[in-house]
Amino acid sequence: MSALIQPSQSIQAVAPQTVHIFLGDRSYPIAIGTQLLDNPATWADLPRAATALIVTNTTVGPLYAQRLKTALQSHYATIHTVVLPDGEAFKTWETLNLIFDALLGHGCDRKTVLFALGGGVVGDMTGFAAASYMRGVPFVQVPTTLLAQVDSSVGGKTAINHPLGKNMVGAFYQPCKVVCDLDTLTTLPPRELSAGLAEVIKYGPIADMALLDWLDAHMDALRAGDVAALAHAVQRSCEIKAHVVGQDEREAGLRAILNFGHTFGHAIEAGMGYGAWLHGEGVGSGMVMAAHLSQRLGLIDMALVQRLTQLIQRAGLPTVGAVLDATDNAGRYLQLMRVDKKAEAGEIKFVLIGPPGSATVRGAPDALVRAVVDACCS
C-alpha cells in the first residue's frame, strides 16, 4: 500500500447519515459523515467493557490511532493498540496471530471490544480475530479507505488469504457498528482512491443504472476528493450492499452478485502476488472482462461494455488484464479461478450483467472464457 498523504485543511462538514443493515439480533448501523472519529458520542452505543483493543497498521496508525484512543477513553478504562504491517501481502496467519498475541498478552476477556482502524486488510483480519477469540468478541469497523467504506467493512465477511486463493480462510461475523468518517479519505493517495472507486462502480451495472449515470456525471469530482460526492457514493453503495446482505447474509445466492469483476480480479491478485495489484485494480480490469463475457453470452450489448470500460478508465483503473503466464495466460486464469469460492465441482461461476442494472451468476464454456481473457489481456 502506498503511503498515506498527510492531512490538509479540514474538509467541509457533511451532516451524518445512517444506513442500517437488518439482520435480526445482528443488525447494526453504518454511520457516514465527517468529524465522526473524534466525537465520543460516535462510540456511546457500543457494548460495555473494561477493555478495548485498536487494531491498525503502520501507515494508518500514526495518523489516527491516538485520535481514536482519545475519543474512546470515556468509554473504556483500558485501551490497547496493536500495529500490523501494512499491505495485502501480510493478510496471513502470521499477521493474524499478532492480534491474538495482543489479546492474550493483555489478558483480554470475552467482553473486550476490538476496533478495526484501517482499510480492508485490517478490517478483514480484525473481524476474523474477533470471530475466533474466545469463540466471538464484539468488534467495530472504522474504515479509513474508500474501498473499505463502500464494501469490505460492511456485511461481515472476514478472512485471510491463502497462497492458492484470496480470502479462502475466514468466517461470516458481523460488526457492532461501522463508522465511515469521510475526513480520513483526505489522506488517501490517488491510487488508493481509484481502487475504492472500483467497488463503487460495480454496484451500477448489477443493481442501479441510475448510480452508473451519476458516476458518469461525477467521476471528476470523486477523483478530486469532493466530500459531497464522496458522501453520496459511500451512502448509496452502503444502501445497496445493506439491502443485499439483509436478504442473503451468508452468500447462499443473491449476495454473490456483489462479486462482479472479482472472479477475474482475484485471479490477478493471486497470480501476480498479493499486493502487486491493488484489490480495486484487479476488480477494475475484472469488470471489463466480466462485461465482455456478458456480451459474448448475449446478455448485454457492446455499447454497455464500452461505456463501463470508459468509466473504469476515467476512475484511474486498469482496463487491460495482467499477463499471468506468457505461454498460456488464459489457462493460468482458469486454473486460479477454479479455486474461487463460487466454483462448484470445479465449474467456475461468473457474476455477469444481464439485463443492465441486474446480475446473474452462471458458468461459461472454457473456450469462451479463454477468448475473453486473450482479448482483454493483450
**pLDDT on residue 344:** 78
**Average pLDDT for residues 121-145, to the nearest whole number?**
97
Q: For every residue of the chain, which 3-state class applies, written as one string?
A: CCCCCCCCCCCCCCCCEEEEECCHHHCEEEEEECCCCCCHHHHCCCCCCCEEEEEEECCCHHHHHHHHHHHHCCCCCEEEEEEECCCHHHCCHHHHHHHHHHHHHCCCCCCCEEEEEECHHHHHHHHHHHHHHHHCCCEEEEECCHHHHHHHCCCCEEEEEECCEEEEEEEECCCCEEEEEHHHHHHCCHHHHHHHHHHHHCHHHHHCHHHHHHHHHHHHHHHCCCHHHHHHHHHHHHHHHHHHHHHCCCCCCHHHHHHCCHHHHHHHHHHHCCCCCCHHHHHHHHHHHHHHHHHHCCCCCHHHHHHHHHHHHHCCCCCCCCCCCCCCHHHHHHHHHCCCCCCECCECCEEEECCCCCEEEECCCHHHHHHHHHHHCC
pLDDT digits (tens, 9 = 90+) for 276-292: 999 999 999 999 999 99
Lowest-confidence region among 6-10, 14-18, 225-229, 280-284: 6-10
**pLDDT on residue 10:** 42
**pLDDT on residue 49:** 96
Long-range pairs for 43-47: beta carbons < 8 A, 24 or more residues apart: 43/71, 43/72, 43/75, 43/140, 44/75, 45/177, 46/75, 46/113, 46/138, 46/140, 46/176, 46/177, 47/111, 47/113, 47/138, 47/176
Please name which of 315, 316, 313, 318 lies closest in space to residue 269, comparing C-alpha atoms.
318
pLDDT band at 164 (very low <50, low <70, confident <90, very high): confident
Q: pTM for this structure?
A: 0.92
**pLDDT on residue 11:** 52
Which residues, including other chains, have CB under 8 Å from residue 97's CB and lie 6 or more apart? none
At residue 8, does pLDDT exceed 60?
no
pLDDT digits (tens, 9 = 90+) for 48-58: 999 999 999 99
pLDDT digits (tens, 9 = 90+) for 246-278: 999 988 889 999 999 999 999 999 999 988 999
Greater model confidence, 176 or 2? 176
pLDDT digits (tens, 9 = 90+) for 313-335: 999 999 999 999 999 999 999 99
pLDDT band at 207 (very low <50, low <70, confident <90, very high): very high
pLDDT band at 166 (very low <50, low <70, confident <90, very high): confident
**pLDDT on residue 346:** 80
**Average pLDDT for residues 108-122, to the nearest whole number?**
97
At residue 7, does pLDDT exceed 80?
no
At residue 24, does pLDDT exceed 60?
yes
At residue 6, does pLDDT exceed 70?
no
Q: Can you give the length of the chain in residues?
A: 378
Q: Which residues are catalytic?
A: 135, 157, 199, 241, 251, 255, 259, 262, 266, 279
**pLDDT on residue 9:** 41
Cα(214)–Cα(233) distance, integer angstroms: 9
- Looking from the CA of 193 toward its CB, the CA atoms found within 13 Å total 25
At residue 113, does pLDDT exceed 90?
yes
Amino acid at 17: Q
pLDDT digits (tens, 9 = 90+) for 71-107: 999 999 999 999 999 999 999 999 999 999 999 999 9
**pLDDT on residue 5:** 39
Looking at the chain, the whole-number percentage of residues with pLDDT higher than 70 is 97
pLDDT digits (tens, 9 = 90+) for 223-232: 999 999 999 9
At residue 360, does pLDDT exceed 50?
yes
At residue 12, does pLDDT exceed 70?
no
**pLDDT on residue 4:** 41
pLDDT band at 341 (very low <50, low <70, confident <90, very high): confident
How high is the mean pLDDT of the chain? 94
Please name which of 297, 300, 304, 265 lies closest in space to residue 281, comparing C-alpha atoms.
265
**pLDDT on residue 298:** 97
**pLDDT on residue 335:** 95
